[in-house]
Amino acid sequence: MSGKAALPRIAVVGVSSLIGAAVIDELRARNMRFAELHALDDGRSGGAMLGDEEGKLPVGDVAAFDFSRVDMAFFCGRASLSERYAQLAAEHAWVIDGSALFRARADVPLVAADVNAGILDSVGPRGLIALPGSASVALATALAPLRALAGLVRVDVATYQAVSGSGRGAMDELAGETVAMLSGKPARGRAFGRQIAFNVIPVVDTLDEDGTSREERRLWEETRQLLSLPSLAINATAVRVPVFFGHSLAVHAEFDQSIAAGDAIAMLRRGSGLNVIEVDSVAEFPTPATLATAPNQVYVGRVRADPTRDRGLNFWVVADNVRKCAAHNAVSVAQILVNRPQ
């Protein structure tokens, strides 16, 4: 950006995706001030209009866009678009990238705004910034305050991931299969290789030779990086469930020091981006279809001692994967960059 008082010129790349549309909504919901807003996608979406009658945006072809015209570009989860255009855009602007393409690069900061925003202090006036996967954001956001209280030794986690993590086509498949099966017709099972309606699939993404899925491996690596704990023991199983929005995580954590459930709840209440649901509340515990629809929080519930470990806790985490963990995180990173001293 050209000066401290200048408003940013922004591009959102991949606006036809779930995350792209959510980033546009988030920018508007936060009333983030900007000089220009460009909605971009590949040629198939060029010429379309995005939004309602109050604020329609024309969708431009990213291939024809000059990124020297903007100060900030959101790349919204499509690896193909990031691969072709993100580094080019980063020569002129901050690029906040939601794909998995740059997450493992040592020279690209990986940022969850509620966990390690301080890493943005070292980012210059342009360049690449990677965003973690949604399950990693939810897990690290819940673990960060507990790690600060009692240290962290080991995490066992099972994730129950919504179909929106695989995009609009997967959501359409769940809806179509549900209608078909309730009508006595067979499910197609195309998006995930088998039916997802009324089913649970214990694989997210592809399997490596050792039987670990790429999503599980990403969860290990990204959570360690976000928490600056490169040797943290993490054991994960990633599962796809027939839910439209909202990832859920069953977490079993072991700490350096003994930690009572009450102390953990008090610490979680002070954590950034967190909302703790206690058993005596009206809600009792978070679920994807209820509390996860409020997109600016990671919800934690069922906090209790692990009866098999002296320094262990069990708890349940729910967060909207598209809005909170992706779009809200992306715009939070943008606001930190824009509002920091120039």
| Confidence grade of residue 236 (pLDDT, cut at 50, 70, 90) | very high
What is the rounded distance in angstroms from the CA atom of residue 137 to the CA atom of residue 249? 11
Residue 88 identity (one-letter amino acid): L
Mean pLDDT of the chain, nearest integer: 92
pLDDT of residue 291: 77
Q: 73-77, 155-159, 211-215: which range is least confident on average? A: 73-77
Alpha-carbon gap, residue 259 to 238, rounded angstroms: 27
Share of the chain above pLDDT 90, in %: 83
Which domains are assigned to the chain? Answer: 9-132+326-339 (3.40.50.720), 135-321 (3.30.360.10)
In this structure, the strands spanning 298-305 and 274-277 are parallel
* Over residues 275-290, mean pLDDT: 84
The residue whose two tokens read 């080991």 is 154
pLDDT digits (tens, 9 = 90+) for 110-153: 999 999 999 999 999 999 999 999 999 999 999 999 999 999 99
Residue owning tokens 């490596």: 208
Instruction: Check pLDDT > 50 for residue 164.
Output: yes
What are the start-end ranges of the E strands in 255-329?
Answer: 274-277, 298-305, 312-319
pLDDT digit string, tens, across residues 289-318: 987 767 689 999 999 999 999 999 999 999
The pLDDT confidence band at residue 1, using thresholds 50, 70 and 90, is low
pTM exceeds 0.75: yes
Burial (0-12, 13-18, 19+ Cβ within 10 Å), 87? middle
Alpha-carbon Rg for the chain in angstroms: 20
Question: DSSP label at 309?
Answer: -
pLDDT at 45: 63
Fill in the amino acid letter for 274: L
User: What's residue 54's pLDDT?
Assistant: 55
Looking at the chain, the whole-number percentage of residues with pLDDT higher than 70 is: 93
Least confident of 14-18, 49-53, 180-184: 49-53
Work out the average pLDDT over 87-115: 96
Pick from 1-5, 170-174, 225-229: least confident: 1-5
In this prediction, residue 3 has a pLDDT band, given cuts at 50, 70 and 90, of very low
Please give the average per-residue pLDDT across 159-181, as a whole number.
Answer: 95
- Given this model, what pLDDT does residue 342 score? 65
